Chain A
Amino acid sequence: MTTIPNPAANIGRATLGFLADVGRLAVFLARSVGAIFSPPFYFGNQLRQMLSVGYYSLPVVGLTALFTGAVLAQQIYIGTGRFDAESTVPTIVVFGITRELGPVIASLMVAGRVSAAMAAELGTMRVTEQIDALTTLATNPFRYLIAPRILAATLMMPLLVLISDIIGVMGGWLLSTTVLNYNSIGYLQRSLDFMETWDVVSGLIKAGIFGFILSLMGCYQGFNSSGGAQGVGRATTNAVVSASILILAANYAVTSIVFTD
């Protein structure tokens, strides 16, 4: 006889599981932030993580920004053409890139790279008892492993997004001047004329938040993985998926609540 699962019990179980997860994540977050602000600091690890998050993500982030900027210009050209407002293309491209697409797309790309790498690395360290070994060598794994990663991502994402903003706008410019026959100087002039500092700054603040989220998820999933190679694989997938969803959710929340002007 097969038993039909009771949906209410399932919902209850899922809710309890979810709450337990939220609780665990909150504890993890508190310990991570505590580790960021309390010595000893491991500068070698910090530097290595900043390099890995910042420098090595440049090609990926740069390329996506270039294509995103170009396609944005193309679409806005079509859209604004419907009411003879093609002259607004540069302004809207800058607006869209700096406030939304720059931070969001760069963070999603970096989540795919960095969250996954963090989860896989820490997960392997967990299942091969390297994290236990670290503890027995009287070294706090939160200070040695987690803090440098989260700090690196939080600091480097704004920098990456600033570069990605520039490349994105240049992508739009490239397409507009080569394919759409815009005047080169005029396009750049219009891009800057209507740009406000806040457009860029709000995007960079978002980037910092997203960097924090994507590294937190990578570290959390990796640090708590169990069950051999399969467990590490699961941790990696969970890290990327949860980081991506949280980034998009946080983007909505931040944009609609904080950055309303």
Chain B
Amino acid sequence: MAQPKLSLRGVCKRFGRKVVLDGLDLDIMAGESVVIIGGSGTGKSVMLKCVLGLLQPDAGDIFVDGEEITRLKGHEREKMLRRFGMLFQGGALFDSIRVWRNVAFGLISAQGMKRKDARRHADEILAKVGLGPEVGDLSPAELSGGMRKRVALARAIATNPEILFFDEPTTGLDPIMADVINELIVERVRDLGATALTITHDMASARKVADRIGMLYGGKIIWIGPAADIERSGNPYVDQFIHGRAEGPISMDVQRL
């Protein structure tokens, strides 16, 4: 079998007494688009942050092209991070600089692109997410929620990274714009050969962008398989989740009145 692009092996992460990731294994092949679904608070965002080194896993190994990355430091880590693009769930736009500088941030600071070229580049990418060049001159505080998300997406893909992480890329967008974003993710993977890991609650989006869909529950990937098989996974947790039923093996900790 070929070497996976990204591989998580027995990753554990806890906060205080709360165990979030409990020996998580996941392999993603080069050029593949994997979607992870899972309930709110099950640790999907934490998983991405562990890969990026924003959180230090308590145990386990993470490999990119076979190289262990959790113990990289300094310049080595920066070099590795240049291969990633990340869309944060909350956008995480830099609100002290204008939108186009946000989008071009990686181009200017990491690739040393000239300001004028970077601006042109930023406008092109903004156009891809359905935003005109005039948006580039706004400050992030002046954007709507959906616009913020699209700018954040533009920033994540601006440097054409090999590995893309999208944390809920379509949440808060109208259905049409959501589909534009789905198309964009598919295009990145199919045409540019990127490897994508997307987190979403939106099953329509999952079906559209995923080669494989996996479900995170109890700190592990409890099921993963081809997107087409999700309906007949034979896994009661997956069934309950994709059909959005309150009754089932997953118990939501809500007080019944």
Give the contact-size bracket for chain B: 20 to 34
Total contacts A-B at CB 8 Å: 54
Indicate if B106 sits at the interface (CB-CB under 8 A): yes
Judging by beta carbons under 8 Å apart, are A135 and B109 in contact? no
Which parts of B94-120 form the interface with A (CB within 8 Å)? 94-96, 105-106, 109-110
Indicate if A132 sits at the interface (CB-CB under 8 A): yes
Judging by beta carbons under 8 Å apart, are B88 and A138 in contact? no
Number of interface residues of A (CB under 8 A): 17
> Mostly helix, strand, loop or mixed at chain A's interface?
helix
Judging by beta carbons under 8 Å apart, are B110 and A132 in contact? no
> Mostly helix, strand, loop or mixed at chain B's interface?
mixed
Task: Output the least CB separation between B170 and chain A (Å).
Answer: 19
Task: Output the least CB separation between A51 and chain B (Å).
Answer: 14
Considering only CB atoms, which chain A residue lies closest to B74 in the complex?
Answer: A140
* Pick from A40, A130, A144: contact of B92, CB under 8 Å: A130
Indicate if A22 sits at the interface (CB-CB under 8 A): no
Considering only CB atoms, which chain B residue lies closest to A132 in the complex?
Answer: B54
A202 to B191, CA, bound (A): 65
Indicate if B221 sits at the interface (CB-CB under 8 A): no
Judging by beta carbons under 8 Å apart, are B109 and A138 in contact? yes
Task: Output the least CB separation between B138 and chain A (Å).
Answer: 17
Contacts A137-B106, A138-B110 given; does A130 touch B78 at CB 8 Å = no
Q: Identify the interface centre among A40, A121, A130: most chain B CB within 10 Å of its CB.
A: A130
Judging by beta carbons under 8 Å apart, are B88 and A133 in contact? yes
Judging by beta carbons under 8 Å apart, are B105 and A137 in contact? yes
Which parts of A98-144 form the interface with B (CB within 8 Å)? 121, 124-125, 128-130, 132-140, 144
Q: Which residues of B contact A140 (CB under 8 A)?
A: 78
A118 to B22, CA, bound (A): 37
A137 to B92, CA, bound (A): 12
Judging by beta carbons under 8 Å apart, are A136 and B86 in contact? yes
Judging by beta carbons under 8 Å apart, are A129 and B109 in contact? no
Q: Which residues of A contact B88 (CB under 8 A)?
A: 129, 132-133
Indicate if B249 sits at the interface (CB-CB under 8 A): no
Q: Which 5 A-B pairs have the closest CB atoms?
A: A133-B92, A129-B92, A138-B78, A138-B81, A138-B110
